[in-house]
């Protein structure tokens, strides 16, 4: 129900993703090379895109909430305001360095480890 309220206008049309002709809602504009089209998606496709967006946002928030650093000859991940740390194998630390240099999102294994260690959502994602 909430989902339908977020996209108030559903009409018959073609879903850009699964290419089925059914009820679709406008998700927004897509601009490529200065040409803009409106993206219409069916309910399942729109829902999946929203979940995808949320997952990426959580990873983004988590990445900005964690600090990986060398510590006493090993490597740890810290979360500001929390005493417990996650100890990282050297190769995982290098993986994070590389991901950070490339501007990539927080890798799923770190997200899982952070959830297991500190629980719930990172501070940056509170209330969402």
Between residues 27 and 113, which has the closer beta carbon with respect to Zn ion? 27
Is residue 26 within 8 A of residue 7, CB to CB? The reply is yes
Q: Which positions from 85 through 124 interact with Zn ion, judged by CB under 5 A?
A: none
Number of residues interacting with Zn ion: please give it, by CB under 5 A. 5
Is 46 near Zn ion (CB under 5 A)?
A: no
Out of 3, 4, 6, 18, the residue judged to bind Zn ion by CB under 5 A: 18
Binding piece for Zn ion, criterion CB under 5 A, among 39-47, 58-66, 68-76, 104-112: 39-47
Any idea what the Cα angle at residue 55 is, between residues 54 and 59, rounded to 5°?
A: 115
Out of 45, 63, 96, 114, the residue judged to bind Zn ion by CB under 5 A: 45
Any idea what the Cα angle at residue 19 is, between residues 42 and 1, rounded to 5°?
A: 5
Measuring CA to CA, which residue among 83, 81, 76, 69 is closest to residue 113? 76
Is 21 near Zn ion (CB under 5 A)?
A: no
Binding piece for Zn ion, criterion CB under 5 A, among 30-38, 40-48, 62-70, 90-98: 40-48
* CA 54 to chain CA centroid, nearest Å: 5
Out of 25, 40, 42, 62, the residue judged to bind Zn ion by CB under 5 A: 42
122, with CB counted inside 10 A (0-12, 13-18, 19+), is: buried
Half-sphere exposure of 24 (CA within 13 A, CB side): 20
Is 17 near Zn ion (CB under 5 A)?
A: yes
Q: Which residues bind Zn ion (CB under 5 A)?
A: 15, 17-18, 42, 45
């Amino acid at each position: 129900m909430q989902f339908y309220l977020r996209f108030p206008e559903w009409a018959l049309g073609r879903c850009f993703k699964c290419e089925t002709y059914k009820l679709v809602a406008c998700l927004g504009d897509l601009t490529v090379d200065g040409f803009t089209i409106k993206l219409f998606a069916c309910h399942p496709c729109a829902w999946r895109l929203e979940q995808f967006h949320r997952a990426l946002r959580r990873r983004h928030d988590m990445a900005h909430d964690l600090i990986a650093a060398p510590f006493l000859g090993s490597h740890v991940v810290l979360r500001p305001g929390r005493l417990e740390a996650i100890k990282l194998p050297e190769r995982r630390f290098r993986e994070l360095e590389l991901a950070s240099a490339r501007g990539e999102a927080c890798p799923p294994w770190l997200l899982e480890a952070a959830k297991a260690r500190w629980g719930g959502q990172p501070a940056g994602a509170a209330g969402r």
